[in-house]
Each structure stands twice: as structure tokens, then as C-alpha cells.
Amino acid sequence: MLYREAGDFNTSYKQDGQTFPIRFDRYRYYAVLAVAFGVIPFIINDYWANAVFVPFLIYAIAAIGLNILTGYCGQVSLGTGGFMAVGAYACYKLMTGFPDVSIVIHVILSGGITAAVGVLFGLPSLRIKGFYLAVATLAAQFFLVWLFNKVPWFYNYSASGQINAPERSVFGIIVTGPNTEAWAKYMICLVFVVACAWIARNLTRGASGRRWMAIRDMDIAAEIIGVNPLGAKLTAFAVSSFFIGIAGALFFAVYLGAVEVGEAFGINKSFLVLFMIIIGGLGSIFGSFAGAAFMVLLPVLLKNVLVGGLGWATDLAAHLEFMIVGGLIVMFLIVEPHGLAQLWRLTKEKLRLWPFPH
Amino acid sequence: MKLKLATLALTGLMAAAPAMADLVFPSLSYRTGPYAAGGIPFADGYADYFTLLNERDGGIGGVMTKVIECETGYNTEKGVECYEATKGEGSLVYQPLSTGITYQLIPKVTADGIPLHTMGYGRTSAANGKVFSHVFNYPANYWDGASIAVNHLLDINGGDLSGKKIALVYHNSAYGKEPIRTLEELSAKHGYELTTIAVDHPGQEQKSQWLQIRRERPDYVLMWGWGVMNQVAIQEAANIRFPMENFIGVWWSGSENDVLPAGDGANGYKSLALHGTGSDYPIYADIQKYVVDAGKAAGAGDQIGTVLYSRGLYAAMLAAEAAKKAQEIHGTADITPAMMRDGMEALEITAEILEANGLPGFGPEFKVSCENHGGPGLGMVQQWDASAKKWNIITDMIQSDKSVIDALVKEDSEAFAAENNIEMRCN
């Protein structure tokens, strides 16, 4: 009754081709944006920003990036953590090397540098596929972490090998460093997320997205119909790494402020982001958000309920958290292998017919 | 619906945390993961000491204490979450027991005005109180540790280490990298040859590192390890029959958990010690009476008397003494984090205070000042006796080489100050 296309007439091709063709859907999207920009910044506090919203938004960017590569182009990658590290270290070197340039430009440049590194490690994808490519990207993961640990130039020769984000501001508002207000942290991440999601959505429904999907579905067939596999695969690697690099830069500069490569960008991070897109839904922008929300929010929620609400011992709660999150992942994979995005799609289908399903 | 419930539950939790009259000591502990072997006894000791104060003395200065535990798993992201979750509850001092989380928190606590005490870990140059207003790392830090180990080797070798080969096996993280700079300086001064060998997190696989040691035959091996890495390293050293008395760990690599798995092979292994060892101190009688027998022991209660448990006690005692000092300075029992910071900066630990707390001769006497947040830099060496399953202190307090360390601290902290536009205090 609420969600349907009846009475919703498109009178131009432009209207027909828009991202949210159903009016109700479009209004829902505007409402989400309005709340995100107009309400949350005014009520957010340090805890909600640092424990919930900022990590969620940053992981959403990383998940969108990996989803482009794995979900849309079909190239399995286990190098996400390494690419995030490239973004973080690029951002650090730029921030300390050019302190007068805006942090926004640094974050975008870090994305560009990561894209270049991603293309480099994407070259093997022209010869190898599937699991073998996963292993090649795994090599990228370990090599990059090793590199940032080994070469002191990357961490400006500090004694501990840690990198620390200096204080930087946008339009006079501090966005990195310890004196950042919660809402400023949230807003800079939100702006990047909205921009990235908008670009990603439009890329994936345009010509390049169709090329990626053709490669994903069957690369030989794609080649026969005129898709250049070199171009398609490398652009997928570049665009994906660009987003992941932005996520890494924000993760370091805005969220954590101090980073140690082995701990923050280890193999665990690669798997975490991969789980996000698998649970959220491969080949879906909404799925990237849903997966990131699931993996970031659920542990925090469980911890608050078990320790804060029920007063259980912290170690018991931590172990239970592993079991519950793990169990839910397995359950999801069995019950809905296409992820939360597919659940959402099914819900929408049902809503179209509701309340008269026949 | 689920999300709504969740939001309600979360908001409820947030709202249910008004300002409490207790003195809150958050414990960012880790009882899970590869570092739990070190995290559990420390957290137990920390909690038990405050329970003892509540049960025996009625808190500190008449105000009850409260320990809020938050599980970090030695992970910086969870550490940040724990910090944000607990800082609103009037937390007086943070002791995260993780160098990674410490680096994370240094700027944050300074901005929020809450003191941070990293006893024998964390950022070494935080010893310079002129730059780091809210960070304390008394009574000793990593660079002191490195220098104490070298001084001990000098003692055994009649004051001459020239031509000796020393290898450092370290956890490949901020923690493990800390001593390298000092060891390099000292190598230039004393003429030994330094090899550094990194072990990646979590350190369960060290075959190649110990193969390298076997090939290069260093005279001494120093270790900066933590968690499961310690046990593996000691086992591997025993496997290649490295002479254990030439193997010295930092104070984080010298607990019962680290040596017991290697059995007799670990006999003679040495480690640095920040404080006395064993359960012969009078405080343990009180802990038995007021905490254990009352059924209030933290955790499983099976760690009492171990090295890291007593380190937790020591950390808690220093925090409690600083709180007393703060109450004294400000003339109020209900202190704030800012007052706590003043108390820590004015802290003086004397033999009488140690005695009064049931820990006579446990640690060094020292005095914190505005300039010096790092304490005296004293440490001892302990040795493992595998047949008696006991650590024995084998040296007196050894003084670190301040001529080398002070210059390094100054250099590193001033670089930090310049990077972050911090004005020097204490002028």
C-alpha cells in the first residue's frame, strides 16, 4: 500500500533512469539523508561518534570499494587491509609533508595513490582468476604491511613505528587530532561516504559498471561482445582501491588518530571487510552499508547488553560475542546467501503487493 | 524492531550512567585473545587491591572506590570504544596495559583532562612532564629497562661489553620497537654489536628467528615480548639449547605463565623486575582475609601471588596513593580527574608508605615532579628456578644510564611537542 509504483508516472527518460524510480523509495532516501545531515550532528556525543557512527561510515566506504571489485567485477581480493594501510600512510606522509594543504585534498590524494598501488597489484588478475587471484592479493596484504613496518621513511623515523595524525581543520573546524568535536568527526566521514556512495552507484549503473558485471558473469563472453578485460579489470581495481584508500586515510586520520600498521591493517581487516560485503550482499551498494552496520554495530550492541545491561563478566561477554556473531554469520549464509541486500529486496517485493498479495 | 529495541537498550544504558559519588578507576583489561595470559593476572590484581581498600579501609579517604572493567582484547579499536564508554563516568586515571592503546589515548586524555598512567610501558618520552601534562610512566620505562639490562650485562662481564654480540628479539609493534633506539646508543657507548630480530603479532611462529639466533650465536639475547610470544620464545630458546642465563626478558616477559610451559628447559631464564616477587608480603594476608575469603576475588581468583598479579596490585597502589595525595592537596575527598592529575604529579613513594600498604621493600622509593613523570628508572633482575617453580631476585636495584636516556627522552618529546604545537610547562 505504501510502497508501490501505481500512480507514479515517468514522463521523461531521465525520470525513468533515476536511481530510485519509486516515489516512496526516493522520499525514504531523502529522509535518511535529512536525518543524517540535519539531526544526528546535533545530538551526537563522543561515544556514539567514536564507537558507532565513525567506524560504521568508514567501513561502509571500504565495503563499497571492495564490493566494486568483488561484487561487481568478480575479482576476489584479500588485500583490503593492505590497501587501507596505503591510504593511511599516504595520508600521513601528505599531512606531515604539506601541512598547509587541506586535509580533504590529502584524503582524496591518498585514495589516488592507493588506486595506483591497487592497479599494480591488480595486474596479475589478467592472468589468474578465482582462488589464485585471492592468493595474489593476499601477498599484497602481507607485503604492504611488511613494507610499512620495515621502511622507517613511511613513519617519519619515529622510535615506535607509530604514525600520529596532527591536528588539521576544514573551514576552520578541527577534524583530526584529539580536540575534534564529535559532530565534526561524524560530518567529515558522512560527506565522504555520501560522495563515495553516489559515485559508486552511478559508476555501477553506467557503462563501466556494465563492463565489470559482464566480466564477472563470464569473462570470455564479455570479451567476445567487445569488453576489454584489461581495461575493465584494471579500472575495477583502481576504483575499488581508490575508495579503500579513502577509507584507510579516514580510519587513520579521523577515527583512530594513531595507528600501528600490523595491528590496525592486518589480515583481520581484510577478512572483516570481506565478511561485510558477503553478509551485506555482493554487488549492491545498499549491501555494503548493511554489512558494515552489521559487523560494526552488533559487537558493540552485544557488549553493551551483556556487560552493561546484564552485568556479566567481561571475558564471558567477549567470548559469547564471538559465538553469537559467528553463529549469525553462518545462519545468514545458509538462510540468505545473497545477504542482507537480498532480504531488503524481498521485503520490497512483498511490500509492493501488501496488503493484497494476490 | 530489533534495531529499535537495540537503540532503546543502548540509550537506556547511556542514560543509566549518572555521575556517581564513587572514585572510579576504569580497568581496560584483556581477558581474551593471545595476550590474555598477561592481561588476566594484571586485571585481577588491579581489581582486588581496590576491593581490599573498600572492604578494609572503607575506600580512599572515606569514599568508596569502583573499578569498571572493559574488555579491549589488546585491540586499539576496542580500546578507543572502552575509553569513550568509561570516560563519562568520572574516571580518574586510565591504565590500558597496552602500548598501542596508550599511543591512541595520549592525545585524547590530554584533551579531556584525564591522567594516564603507563607503568613500565607506553610512550617512553612521556617521562618528560614538560611536554606530556597528563601522561605518567613512573617508576621506570622501556628505555630504562633496556639500559638496566645492559648494565646488568656490564656487571657480569666486569664492566666491558666490547666485541660481544647482543640480539634483541622483539614484538614487531610500537611496544617492541621502543628499546631499539636506546640499545643502539648504548651499543655505540659500550662497543657491543646489536642485532634486532622482529617477531610478528601474535608471535606463535618463531622458528626462523631462533634459527637465525642459532646461526649467529649471539652472546646474549634480550627479549621484548608479551603474551603468547614469551612462552614460544622461551620454548624455542630451550629447543636450540641456548644458555638460559644469557637470555634476558623485559619485565613484561618474566611471569610464571611465560616460563612454566617450557618446564625444566626454562631453568635459569632471567628477566627484569619492576618490583619484588612472591607472596611473602603482608598484604597477601589481608587479601586472603578481606577479598578471597569474602568471595570477592576478581576473575577466577587463581592468579594471586603471581608476578603480574602483584604488578596489578602495584599499579593500583600507586593510583590509590596518588588519589590520597590529591585529596590531601585539594582538601576534598571527592576528587576529579584534574585533581587526580595534581596528585600524581605530587606523588611521593617512601619506604613508610610501602610498609603501611603491606608491601615493604616492594618497589623503589621515588618522587614525581612537574618535569619528571618518569620516576627514578630503577629495576632489578630476577631468575627462574624451574625446580622450585619460583622467581628469585638476584640483584639489588640497578640504576639505568640516565646520561643516555635523558637526552633521548628530551629529543623525542621535543619532536612530539614541535609536531603538535605543545608549549613547554613547568617553567
Do the domain assignments include residue A332? no
Residue A1 pLDDT level (bands cut at 50, 70, 90) = low
Q: Under a CB-based contact definition with an 8 Å cutoff, are residues B267 and B238 in contact?
A: no
Q: How close is the nearest chain B Cα to the Cα of A236, in Å?
A: 30
Residues of B in contact with A47 (CB under 8 A): 14, 84-85, 88
CA distance readout (Å), B213 to A71, B154, B181, B233: 46, 21, 21, 11
The hierarchical CATH code for the domain B22-141+281-376+409-420 is: 3.40.50.2300
Do the domain assignments include residue A139? yes
Q: Under a CB-based contact definition with an 8 Å cutoff, are residues B110 and B136 in contact?
A: no
pLDDT at position A177 is 83
Per-residue pLDDT of chain B (427 residues; tens, 9 = 90+): 444 455 545 544 444 444 446 899 999 999 998 899 999 999 999 999 999 999 999 999 889 999 999 999 898 888 988 998 898 888 999 999 998 899 889 988 998 999 999 998 988 889 999 999 999 998 899 999 999 999 999 999 998 999 999 999 999 888 888 899 899 999 999 999 999 999 988 888 899 999 999 999 999 999 999 989 999 999 999 999 999 999 999 999 999 999 999 999 999 999 999 998 888 899 999 999 999 999 988 888 888 989 999 999 999 999 999 999 999 999 998 999 999 999 999 999 999 999 999 999 899 999 999 989 988 889 999 999 999 999 999 999 999 998 899 998 998 888 888 877 888 888 7
Q: Under a CB-based contact definition with an 8 Å cutoff, are residues B149 and B395 in contact?
A: no
Give span(s): CATH 3.40.50.2300, chain B: 22-141+281-376+409-420, 142-277+379-406
Do the domain assignments include residue A147? yes
CB burial string A76-114: b at 16+ within 10 A, e below: bbbbbbbbbbbbbbbbbbbbeeeeeeebeebbbbbbbbb
pLDDT digits (tens, 9 = 90+) for B25-51: 999 999 998 899 999 999 999 999 999
Q: Which CATH architecture fits B142-277+379-406?
A: 3-Layer(aba) Sandwich (3.40)
> Please, which residues bridge with residue B273 across strands?
B380
Q: Taking CA atoms, what residue in A is nearest to B298?
A: A313
Q: Under a CB-based contact definition with an 8 Å cutoff, are residues A243 and A64 in contact?
A: yes
Residues of A in contact with B100 (CB under 8 A): 162, 260, 263
- Cα B247 off chain centre by: 21
Domain count for chain A: 1
Complex prediction ipTM: 0.86
- Scanning the structure block, which residue is given the C-alpha cell 555494503? A288
Interface of A with B (CB under 8 A): 46-47, 50-51, 55, 96, 149, 159-162, 164, 166-167, 177-179, 255-260, 262-264, 266, 297, 300-301, 303-305, 307-309, 313-315, 317-319
Could you say which of A256, A260, A315 has the minimum Cβ distance to residue B174? Answer: A260
Residue of B1, B30, B81 to mutate, interface with A, max A Cβ within 10 Å = B81
Percent of chain A at pLDDT above 90? 56
The parent domain of residue A85 ranges over 44-266
Q: How far apart are CA B4 and CA A353, in angstroms?
A: 25
Q: Under a CB-based contact definition with an 8 Å cutoff, are residues A254 and A176 in contact?
A: yes
- In single-letter form, the type of residue at position A193 comes to V
For B92, residues 6+ apart whose C-beta sits below 8 A from its C-beta are B23, B24, B25, B114, B115, B319, B323, B335, B336, B337, B340
Q: Under a CB-based contact definition with an 8 Å cutoff, are residues A152 and B196 in contact?
A: no
pLDDT at A185 over 70: yes
Q: Taking CA atoms, what residue in B is nearest to A181?
A: B111
Q: How close is the nearest chain B Cα to the Cα of A56, in Å?
A: 12
Do the domain assignments include residue A256? yes
Q: Taking CA atoms, what residue in B is nearest to A310?
A: B13
